[in-house]
Chain A
């Protein structure tokens, strides 16, 4: 009896959005948590688009704040938790209505299969954000209309924000034509 009561209390204090997501995506959610300014959920790759679409259309998370990725290869605890998925694609959403204004959606992506469905259909803002994530991490957004590099030059090799990419580069500066001419 005591246990049941306790459970009820925790259910009530939880943000509504978390409850709804748990109900609808019970199998796909790998983890969820409350953060200082909202909630954070981890969802598997197969259901990430459906979850983001649901958040946008049903729960009024109409504002895509950010899309980025984290290379977890040196973060052992995260690796262990998500089946050694090297990358975590991170979406930040915002709503103008409702109590929980911010939600963070994280999607583990394995290095051997870097494909993930693009959300450019849902938000135009995603276009450049996904291009940048591709440029910096090499995440392959399927269905993106124009997946090119954005910050690095088109002929650049490698993805600079990966943890195995050295801070001072791989000799790009030495190979730069301008420097050769002036030698």
Chain B
């Protein structure tokens, strides 16, 4: 317990934090019971952004549901698109061509960079480091223009399809991406010089909101928040999917599991992601960017307009009850999203619509563990800890 007797007044005060607080990044709410400035009890409340995504999954067909996944973790929609279609493909028992796997890895890693950059900017902004916010948004903007050129949208990307992606990378993609990963490490160094050895930043983050590896596992933490405690667990290594076994990268881990370590782990992960992007660009295979099976993927537009066979395939995929129909059964598939393990548990009744689509969002577990990290600490640390966990209300409440 921090704070000795001299800090306590003996009177409890209840402070409502959120859901409309600038530091809550969305609609998160915490009710804090304070004694002086010491937090006695913290109660997080979820549900302010509940949208019924799981219910929608029972009414939309497998390809229509991709647009819903955009809106879950709205900082890295491409990772959600990827995780979802991978689950459906595994349920169907199909594997996409190698080029498609590489394209998905490229987009997943770029969106990991974008997600971590936004996290970095806002977490630092919450603690008063305004320039870091500007620096990271400058870099993030470059990524978003790459996403925009590739998918046609900045946020609602819906890039993947069951069986592939909806279009190939654009012509200048390699140049743009190489340009980014060459300049990015230099730009990140600016942030390092601003924060990493900064006395104020270290005082605000070191030893704050710490959690032990055992507790982290017990609470179900995943991703950078788990790795900051020293557990070298990364699904890209543990259960490689989509050709991740062909890439070389390190899994950075922390030691104390505090806010500072979460910061360092994410900073290093960005550098590792750059390495993965470079390898993917170097070895990007030629060939089809999607499965060339018109029972699963939409045929080319010229084919649909020009040939009766293409038209029939188009019709079969678009019409209700004729599209992608996985066999009856269930499947759980997890991917390493920027925030941690993003899992999809899909139950199929053999029709074109999922019988049950369960999303296992990493933020749900991170937000739940918040009291463990806050209680006994100071009220000013709330913002630091909440910022460091990167809880995204969209995937928390679904």
Is there contact, CB below 8 Å, between B343 and A128?
no
A54 to B55, CA, bound (A): 33
B115 to chain A, nearest CB (A): 21
Among listed B263-271, B317-325, B354-362, interface-contacting one: B354-362
A101 to B54, CA, bound (A): 26
Partner of B47, one of A64, A68, A150, A167: A150
Q: Which residues in window 125-181 of A have CB below 8 A to B?
A: 125, 127-129, 132, 136, 149-153, 160-161, 163, 165, 167
A177 to chain B, nearest CB (A): 17
Is there contact, CB below 8 Å, between A128 and B328?
no
- A92 contacts across to B, CB distance below 8 A: 332, 343, 345, 360
Contacts A36-B90, A102-B332; is A74 near B220 (CB within 8 Å)? no
Mask, A89-110, CB within 8 Å of B = 1, is: 0101000100001101000000
- B356 contacts across to A, CB distance below 8 A: 70-71
B72 to chain A, nearest CB (A): 14
Q: Which residues in window 345-398 of B have CB below 8 A to A?
A: 345, 347, 349, 355-356, 358, 360, 364-365, 368-369, 372, 397-398
A165 to B331, CA, bound (A): 24
Q: Which residues in window 228-250 of B have CB below 8 A to A?
A: 231, 233, 238-239
Partner of B220, one of A35, A64, A149, A150: A64
**What is the interface residue range for chain A against chain B?**
35 or more
Question: Is A57 interfacial (CB 8 A cutoff)?
Answer: no
Is there contact, CB below 8 Å, between A161 and B54?
yes
Is there contact, CB below 8 Å, between A167 and B239?
no
Is there contact, CB below 8 Å, between B46 and A150?
yes
Residues in chain B within 8 A of chain A (CB atoms): 46-47, 50, 52, 54-56, 58-59, 90, 215, 217-220, 231, 233, 238-239, 328, 330-334, 341, 343, 345, 347, 349, 355-356, 358, 360, 364-365, 368-369, 372, 397-398
